Amino acid sequence: MADDARRRTVFFVSDGTGITAETLGHSVLARFAGLKLQQVRVPFVTDDAAMREVVARIDAAAVADGVRPVVFATLVNPALTALVAKANALVLDVFSPFIAPLETELQRFAGSDIGGFHAMGDADTYARRIEAINFSLAHDDGQSSTGLSEADVILVGVSRCGKTPTSLYLAMQYGVKAANYPLIPEDFERDALPEALPAFRSKLFGLTILPERLAQVRHERRPNSRYASLDNCRREVQDAERLMQRESIRWLSTTTKSIEEIAATIMTEVKLDRRGF
Amino acid sequence: MADDARRRTVFFVSDGTGITAETLGHSVLARFAGLKLQQVRVPFVTDDAAMREVVARIDAAAVADGVRPVVFATLVNPALTALVAKANALVLDVFSPFIAPLETELQRFAGSDIGGFHAMGDADTYARRIEAINFSLAHDDGQSSTGLSEADVILVGVSRCGKTPTSLYLAMQYGVKAANYPLIPEDFERDALPEALPAFRSKLFGLTILPERLAQVRHERRPNSRYASLDNCRREVQDAERLMQRESIRWLSTTTKSIEEIAATIMTEVKLDRRGF
């Protein structure tokens, strides 16, 4: 097929937050290499007048870019779907391919309660997420060993290997109470885990990282420090991996993984899925 | 249509993290009221042998439930898609409805680089997210007024109105540097914003909450305290709203909104979208 290197605008249009449109759109577009995309989010479009403004923006982008935009739309109201379909764009209705087969399979009609899983409807799940976020914040970086028995998982690893963002993502996305504890030179000298941890061995999960990448991350934080030096990073990573191996702690390397990939792997490895998260 | 109150299992099967399958599946299923669903995530299914095990699990769930499972699949490899399609289930291929129209529109073929937006591919965006998470953590709850000039948005509001989870979500989902500052009784006595804030007026965004809901949230944290009493919550909320109004700070009520809804609203109101997030 011909190449098309012009900039193109992608719209995520929704009567809710637009997170589903954006998540799906990103995954699908990631399969097309070399696109120059400008992204526009338009959430909470709930009436005809607002949608007419959106259509005008889409049409204006088509003129400005010299090429039709792509629109990912998650709309419950068929009248709004019909309006956006008139835009000068490739309009992809994200819900429609799945609704009819589900109606047949589930033997009931789809209602108009969009985004129920993101809304407050499921109050228990929502409260659990908030509680998990508070727990993970209070138990970040070994701040507190009180209440560790409530943790679903306790991440360990050297400073700056990715424990904090992973803990917060586990809490936010999955409602998992994730504590994290740094492994520091003092632990390696004692050649033992931090004192609070052996009691919770089954909950421990290790993160490691290539020393070269670690040095790079630490240099951004404390340029030219001993802490960030490649020699020191090599030693810490080696010591941490040796300690985790001896203590039979499962671990994974974060070097080439996104937060999402690390978190999804931990969910599977720690069998958290089977506990209903 | 007939009612079907049996428990049904929903599988999210992916060769990546499964986040797209789950996000889309949740949004679509939320439109069907009264389902009893058991959810199973199966991420990182990348070869035939693993997929055959997944199909066996799906078939076993069909027998156990007495009703076919629903499967949301995000798979790049057509051989894996063909395998999962043989399961005794309603198998919904999440990508396929969108790939062909996009190939025509973009005049190029879809590759097999699944999840590029979640993977490390887009290194700049990824580094920005990590930096935003670190920033939001360091500037949670007014911890630091150093570097506030770097903030994209500064949330203000009474204690426990939702500032912390919203700040972290803005950082995690959108790469936005979100600081947050509590409005406390001392501020109301002085009848002025915390000293660090007026310099950054254009970045301020307020959160408020119904006093009844605030009292409930605070009671969970400090049962039967003066802090949690309805009287005190009423006064704090009233004082905070009066202060925000006088200082011309936009605000929204978090009472019936999810973190996602609050964050998406802030993105729009503060015009962060237009700044390329």
Helix spans in chain A (H): 19-29, 48-65, 78-84, 96-106, 123-138, 163-174, 185-190, 211-221, 230-246, 259-269
What is the percentage of chain B residues whose pLDDT exceeds 90?
83
- DSSP of A190-228: HTS--TTSGGGGGGEEEEE--HHHHHHHHHHHSTT-TTT
How remote is the C-alpha of B102 from its chain's centroid? 27
- Going by C-beta distance under 8 Å and a sequence separation of 6 or more, which residues neighbour residue A11? A40, A41, A42, A54, A57, A58, A61, A69, A70, A71, A72, A89
Residue window 51-90, chain B: list those with CB within 8 Å of chain A.
68, 70, 74, 76, 90
The 3-state DSSP class for residue A260 equals helix
Give the separation between CA B24 and CA A134, rounded to whole angstroms. 27
Residue window 17-56, chain A: list those with CB within 8 Å of chain B.
17-20, 23-24, 26-35, 40-41, 43-44
- The residues that bridge with B143 in the sheet, in sequence order, are none
B261:A108 CB<8 A: no
Q: How confident is the model at residue B274 (pLDDT cuts 50, 70, 90)?
A: low
- Give me the CATH topology for the region B123-275: Rossmann fold (3.40.50)
A235 reaches B (C-beta below 8 A): no
- The residues that bridge with A39 in the sheet, in sequence order, are A10
- Shortest CA distance from B8: residue in chain A: A106
- Going by C-beta distance under 8 Å and a sequence separation of 6 or more, which residues neighbour residue A165? A259, B129, B130, B133, B172
A264:B95 CB<8 A: no
Tell me what the mean pLDDT of segment B229-234 comes to: 97
Of B19, B116, B165, the CB nearest to A130: B165
A98:B172 CB<8 A: no
ipTM, two decimals: 0.90
What pLDDT is attached to residue B221?
Answer: 87
Residue window 180-209, chain B: list those with CB within 8 Å of chain A.
none
What pLDDT is attached to residue B126?
Answer: 83
Is the pLDDT assigned to residue B194 strictly greater than 70? yes
A106 reaches B (C-beta below 8 A): yes
A43:B265 CB<8 A: yes
What pLDDT is attached to residue B4?
Answer: 52
Residue window 1-20, chain A: list those with CB within 8 Å of chain B.
1-4, 8, 16-20
A35:B106 CB<8 A: yes
Give the separation between CA A112 and CA A20, rounded to whole angstroms. 16
Contacts of A105 in chain B (CB under 8 A): 68, 70, 90
- Shortest CA distance from B95: residue in chain A: A28
Of A30, A97, A113, the CB nearest to B97: A97
E strand or H helix that includes residue A157: strand A153-157
Is the pLDDT assigned to residue B99 strictly greater than 50? yes
User: Residue ranges of the domains in chain B?
Assistant: 7-106, 123-275
Is the pLDDT assigned to residue B122 strictly greater than 70? no
Q: Which of B8, B32, B256 has the highest number of chain A CBs within 10 A, making it the mutation to test binding with A?
A: B32
- Going by C-beta distance under 8 Å and a sequence separation of 6 or more, which residues neighbour residue B59? B87, B88, B89
- Going by C-beta distance under 8 Å and a sequence separation of 6 or more, which residues neighbour residue B202? none
- What's the Cα-to-Cα distance from B106 to each of A51, A231, B113, rounded to whole Å? 25, 48, 16
The 3-state DSSP class for residue B66 equals coil
- The residues that bridge with A110 in the sheet, in sequence order, are none
- For B20-79, the pLDDT digits (tens) are 999 999 999 999 988 889 999 999 999 999 999 999 999 999 999 999 999 999 999 999
Give the separation between CA A274 and CA B10, rounded to whole angstroms. 13
Average pLDDT value for chain B: 92
Query: Nearest C-alpha of chain B: how many angstroms from A40?
Result: 7
Enumerate residue ranges in chain A where pLDDT < 50. 1-3, 115-121
B120:A70 CB<8 A: no
Give the separation between CA B231 and CA A219, rounded to whole angstroms. 50
Q: Please count the other Cβ atoms lying within 10 Å of the Cβ belonging to residue B102.
A: 22
A94 reaches B (C-beta below 8 A): yes
Of B35, B95, B112, the CB nearest to A106: B35
- Shortest CA distance from A101: residue in chain B: B90
Give the separation between CA B133 and CA B172, rounded to whole angstroms. 6
What pLDDT is attached to residue B44?
Answer: 96
- For B146-184, the pLDDT digits (tens) are 899 999 999 999 999 999 999 999 999 999 999 999 999
Query: Nearest C-alpha of chain A: how many angstroms from B4?
Result: 7
What pLDDT is attached to residue B116?
Answer: 44
Query: Nearest C-alpha of chain B: how many angstroms from A246?
Result: 28
Question: Greatest CA span in chain B, whole angstroms?
Answer: 69
Interface contacts A/B by beta carbons within 8 Å: 243
What pLDDT is attached to residue A120?
Answer: 45
Of B30, B101, B105, the CB nearest to A117: B30
Contacts of B261 in chain A (CB under 8 A): 16-17, 118-119
